[in-house]
A and B are shown apart, each in its own frame.
Chain A
């Protein structure tokens, strides 16, 4: 094979890979469209007063916190005001070095409580357990630092109720969030986990822990992430849900059956992607042992979170996510093409491996090869521009379609000008942002390969969108 043949072969490999990955996403998009239509129709009468059942199972809301003194007060306050008949909030202070514990003591009148702590899952030692004297449903576990998974395990150990919901300490929940995400457990007793849609809070107004108006941020990076989140949640996850093949439930907001998670060994403490790893493991355990189960995704926008506004923090986040993905997949390789793997093992897992896990490597290599080969004259201008056209075209179609799904269902952004801005972002993200993301993800993949140590995410919260106590003012 001579140089020219090799270049042509590579050119077609990359071109077909780009077409393949994007056709896969388009297929997911079509599946999501059907799911979304059914979901919206079947919930069309939810706002009638009588649809409230009042028989929902009690839930333990677990809030792991590490150096969250800026936002912990308002987050916990919002969680204490959820519209749900029976729930408790358990904050797990994972050995914070800042004033997180003091903020909690001050805001919620904590008093030490003699609790018979049941260590079912491995976790670092608990220093003390507190109960709020002003809010009886709030408990705080103060423990030695051990990471987010360790904190969640400690929370599960202390949880009283059959369902637990892991929530990031910086997240803002909709008042009805628990009700909506618990619904799959009511509808089907085989449900073991359910995740909700996470949206970006930058640019919105949050008052006393509740979202009072939806807006767009001024920061272009945050704006680009809004489109990205729409794509990730509205079809990246919803598309897999009817096939019972959702492999990711965001750590920012997900609900699980406690007995099932305890039986599976809880969160693994040696990964940065503990949320995804748990879900993939649950699939593997249930599939291989032939236990009927369902893992569901709820498309309602129910949880709002702060997106990074600087390149450095965004890069760290994406690197961490890619490492988490790598760990989750390699720790559960037994699911891949397992004879009883079903859609999770035969479709979602291979899709993740080829397009999400190894994707950045092939994408970056593809871009680099095509650009350098074009500049060196190994690949023709026609081939190069065709490649770019396909890459850009698919990027555009996927982003616009997620915006279309949003417009067909929830229309969260109320002003027409906001839609115009988002459409602009849909176009702009194809010129640099996506490619930069691929580079960061490739870096994450390399870091995972060289096994560097896992830590809590070190994102600096600004909480600039929060007003009221604990916030820093309006945007």
Chain B
């Protein structure tokens, strides 16, 4: 047997140096392990891709057949392919409409997809949880209503929004009555996603809950908290415009916060509110003036031509730009008239802006 000194001949004699040397060796060993891991991962990836390809080749025709009828005989879905199958099924469900969707749901029940989803819903893995939530929503499975409702309060926006969508899929009417206020309050939920979901639910379902929430929030706004009301006003862009006019008018009249006024003005469609719009043309905040000018471009009258021409000389570029566009959009305004207005403008910046807007309108 060689003694210790012989076996460790390759180690530096200085103990500190020997420690660093061993550390270096450990790092290299770690690299080699990772190198092997890269190879193993690649082999696993290739095998998984092959398996998924074979699986998709067997299931794609069956899922496509659901456009007409539910296939009579269905192969088993192996446990390892469950996630992949659920993705495939959801993909088809979101791509199809009408009776084809109903057939897909029948197929899912035949394969006990609702049970699998319920099981995955309690998984710790985010990926499994997300696919389970989406599937339960598409299946309209009410048995997990309370679990999904509890998930709406989850701190993760990804999970909570998936739960919101599922609940809207299951019963939009019942969900929206309490969800709209949550949507306004949860600032970590992207407004764009919320608006997209509300649009999917349709103006018929969202208008009344939005009006009710806006009525309640308008009281809070008086006390100074404007963030919720601004979110609600942005959400109201998908509601029936003729039914929200009263509450929006009331909010804009009472508001002092420029964000609230600008968001409210965006929603005004009724020419009876023109006076309310006009009184904000001189507002000190530029984006309120932009909103007011844009409304005039939508519902303004020929009489607004003078005030819009004046707005071409505004100190803010965007106000001038939208005033020029609004001027062009006014009824009974020809390009010849616009050129005359432009020629008479004493301000070069105003004339340049109107020139740009005319060129844009002509190009369009």
Contact = CB atoms under 8 A, between A and B. Distances in A.
Interface in B1-48: 12-14, 17, 20-21, 23-25, 27-28, 30-31, 34-35, 37-39, 41-43, 45-46
Interface of B: 12-14, 17, 20-21, 23-25, 27-28, 30-31, 34-35, 37-39, 41-43, 45-46, 87, 90-91, 94-95, 125-127, 130-131, 134, 157-158, 187-188, 190-193, 195-196, 317, 320-321, 349, 352-353, 355-356, 359, 363-364
Given A382-B12, A419-B38, A390 B363 contact: no
A390 B20 contact: yes
Interface in A35-50: 38, 41-42, 44-45, 47-50
Contact of B34 (A186, A187, A397): A397
B193 A186 contact: yes
- Chain A interface size, as a band, is 35 or more
Contact of A389 (B28, B39, B46, B352): B28
Contacts of A328: none
A401 interface: yes
A45 B88 CA distance: 11
Nearest to A136: B363
A114 B90 CA distance: 50
Contact of B193 (A53, A188, A380, A400): A53
A390 B30 CA distance: 13
Contact of A407 (B23, B42, B320): B42
Interface of A: 15, 19, 38, 41-42, 44-45, 47-50, 53-57, 113-116, 118, 131, 133, 136, 186-189, 380, 382-383, 385-386, 389-390, 392-394, 396-397, 400-401, 403-404, 407-408, 411, 416, 419, 423
Given A116-B320, A419-B38, A396 B359 contact: no
A400 B192 contact: no
State the main secondary structure of chain B at its contact with A.
helix
A49 B89 CA distance: 12
B13 A382 contact: yes
A407 B24 contact: no
A396 B28 contact: yes
Contact of B17 (A41, A45, A386): A386
Nearest to B28: A393
20 contacts: A19-B23, A41-B126, A45-B90, A45-B134, A48-B87, A48-B90, A49-B95, A55-B195, A116-B349, A116-B352, A136-B363, A189-B187, A189-B191, A383-B12, A396-B28, A397-B30, A400-B35, A400-B38, A401-B34, A423-B35
B126 A48 contact: no
Nearest to B13: A382
Nearest to B37: A404
Cβ-closest 5 pairs across A and B: A55-B192, A393-B27, A382-B12, A389-B24, A116-B352
A397 B192 contact: no
Nearest to A187: B190
Given A383-B12, A397-B34, A407-B38, A114 B363 contact: no
Contacts of B38: 400, 403-404, 407, 419, 423
B131 A44 contact: yes
Contacts of A15: 20
Contacts of B87: 45, 47-48
A115 B358 CA distance: 10
Given A53-B196, A114-B355, A404-B34, A386 B42 contact: no
A400 B33 CA distance: 10
B20 A19 contact: yes
A277 B352 CA distance: 35
A188 B17 CA distance: 50
A355 B54 CA distance: 49
A189 B131 CA distance: 27
A44 B192 contact: no
A393 B31 contact: yes
Contacts of B190: 186-188
Nearest to A382: B12
A368 B127 CA distance: 50
